[in-house]
Amino acid sequence: MVRGERVRECFEFHRCRYGSRRIAAELSIGRATVQKIMRGENLRAIQPKRFKPNTTDSAHGLPICANLLQSGANALTGKGEVMIGDITYLRLADGSFCYLACLQDKFTRRIVGWKIAKRMTAQLVIDVFLQARKRGLIGKNAIIHTDRGSQYAAVEYRRLLYIGGFRQSMSRRGNCYDNAQAESFFSRLKAELVENGNFESVEDACSEVFSYIEG
């Protein structure tokens, strides 16, 4: 079977949701070749709905921490000294969403902890932090910087950081640039993994993200 037919069959088999990266991986064909075929055949992955869930609920009335990255912490350049945390949404084929929380080393840019769940809860970000700490990738007295979302302002999360001797930091109100590193990572991940399509399921999202981050 010629490559063009294989690409079309794969595209149709996955209900027009696979982009060139996932088709190339499944068929063991170079991605550039798949992209050329898809352009020639006018095959485009289904575009998701424009609705975007809000992953940052800062209107919660919980205590807010100062932005330590605005007060000299940018001078810190060592591994494990500053961690950047955030949550993003991932679209699923059935129209629902799941949520990816990550913790990233500001200096090395390594993802030191991550988890996907169907709901955004304080436990989600707690599990990510505990994973990173168990791996020994967070330095003593490190700064943990996030947005002002209710998950990061939750009593359980704040207590965990306090007991461990870590310094909690939060972005300024309405200023996405304070957490630009996390936003940049999520943007790159979605561009390379999803290509404006969807994941088939939470399990599919976990598998793909695992390969992307841990691989």
The pLDDT, as a whole number, for residue 168 is 95
What is the extent of the structural domain holding 194? 68-214
Q: Are residues 36 and 79 in the same domain?
A: no
**pLDDT at site 73:** 54
Counting the structural domains of the chain, the total is 2
Do residues 91 and 199 touch, judged by C-beta distance below 8 A?
Answer: yes
Residues 115 and 204 in one domain: yes
How does pLDDT run across 88-142, given as a tens digit for each residue? 999 888 889 999 999 999 999 999 999 999 999 999 999 999 999 999 999 999 9
Any domain includes 183: yes
Per-residue pLDDT tens digits for 166-202: 999 998 775 555 678 888 888 888 877 776 567 889 9
**Main-chain phi, psi angles of 111, to 5 degrees:** -80, 110
- Which residues 6+ apart lie within 8 Å of 144 measured at CB? 83, 85, 103, 129, 138, 161, 166, 167, 168, 169
Q: Is residue 180 part of a domain?
A: yes
Residue 140 lies in a domain: yes
What tokens does 32 get?
């550039």
Query: Is residue 55, in this structure, part of any structural domain at all?
Result: no
**Is there a single domain that holds both residue 106 and residue 149?**
yes
- Establish if 58 belongs to a structural domain: no
Over the stretch 42-77, which tens digit does the pLDDT of each residue have? 888 765 555 455 565 565 678 888 888 876 555 666
Whether 74 and 178 share a structural domain: yes
Is residue 21 domain-shared with residue 119, that is, in the same domain? no
Query: Are 120 and 206 in a shared domain?
Result: yes
Q: What is the pLDDT of residue 76?
A: 62
